[in-house]
Structure 1
């Protein structure tokens, strides 16, 4: 575990950002759900990559890019990250197929932790 498995682009204009990335890079966008557009970068055997999403940026992260790092245990990873100087921005959230949390490392870089159910 510890692989980067996704990305999230935060924007105060997510619809406009989704249109831009679809037009420029050919990314496929899902219908929005809670101001979040899931993104498929259309990988194939010759082109590896990761998928992600575009969302309306929250007040703590209005613009920017965060990676999502897959972990075996989100609870253990949060404890370990905090012990090493990270700050939890959004604690563990539960979704249908996964858990997600947002943290900031000691240098100010934001990232997400994701644990598959």
Structure 2
């Protein structure tokens, strides 16, 4: 993946098991919980390239969220804020070599950011 590519899509579900069964049956996605990511089933599409995760639905996360790979979350957040957006979730580590954050555009749409090397 390269800067600007959509790398991951999180889908909020109220029941992780039911969500995994639904999407696996509907689209043929392979869904599993990799070691270190228990409670966060990740899906891989049949093309072997696209994927994402199923995450617990809550009041702040009710719609699927796409994640875009960036060279620097810090620089991208600064540019988003300068352009009229805001930070919806601060930068947080995923692994020792990767991070994520969420920005909102001026209309309130949430876009996830990914920086680093995915280890799963």
Q: TM-score range by the shorter chain?
A: 0.7 to 0.9
The answer as to whether partners of 1:67 and 1:112 remain within 8 angstroms in 2 is yes
Structure 2 CA distance, aligned partners of 1:105 and 1:35?
29
Give the structure 2 partner of residue 38 of structure 1.
Answer: 42
* CA deviations over 1:28-64 (Å, ceiling 9, x no partner): 11127353211111216xxxx5111111024311x21
> Over aligned residue pairs, what C-alpha RMSD do you find?
1.7
Give the structure-1-normalised TM-score. 0.85
Unmatched runs of 5 consecutive residues or more in structure 2: none
Greater than 3 Å deviation, 4+ residue runs: 32-35
The answer as to whether partners of 1:101 and 1:114 remain within 8 angstroms in 2 is yes
The answer as to whether partners of 2:33 and 2:39 remain within 8 angstroms in 1 is no
State how 1:1-117 maps to structure 2 within 5 Å.
Answer: 1-31=3-33, 33=37, 35-43=39-47, 50-61=50-61, 63-96=62-95, 97-117=97-117
Structure 2 CA distance, aligned partners of 1:103 and 1:57?
18
Unmatched runs of 5 consecutive residues or more in structure 1: none
Structure 2 CA distance, aligned partners of 1:58 and 1:93?
19
- 3-state SS in 1 of match to 2:64: strand
The number of residue pairs the alignment matches comes to 112
